[in-house]
Amino acid sequence: MSETKEQVPQGTPQENQDKVAKSFESNMKRLVGVLGGEELLTSTTKVKKDTVETIVENILKDRKEKLEIDIKTELSTLLDKHVTLKKSIADKKKELKDLENSKMKEFNEACNKLFGKVQDIEQLEKDYYSSLTSISKED
């Protein structure tokens, strides 16, 4: 197939713009004709209407298959990311639970130490009281 390129002669910018627009419209009409569009333009095509339809169907089929592959790939990636997300969340929840247990254990140890001191004071008071009362009974 040979391509025809229309040369735009030098002129005013408006004239050049008009010529480019006319050339564009002409090419669009020819393309519509090649694709089996308006009947008066089909005489300029060198490809049979059935062949063009088959080509268009094949192009659409190829594009659809590519989109399906792209969707499958992206969906697979999203599913993998979701699995990773769920695992990360589970790991972080376990870490948080472990941290919570560790901090509660530290708190309990501090409480037990404090309660031991309180008990020591109570025992000391009992011991002093017992010691003082035993001295006064001996007298």
The pTM of this model reads 0.45
Per the listing, tokens 């062949």 go with 51
pLDDT in tens, 2-42: 445 555 457 788 888 989 989 988 888 777 776 666 554 44
| Per-residue exposure over 52-88, b if at least 16 CB sit within 10 Å of its own CB, e if not | beeeeeeeeeeeeeeeeeeeeeeeeeeeeeeeeeeee
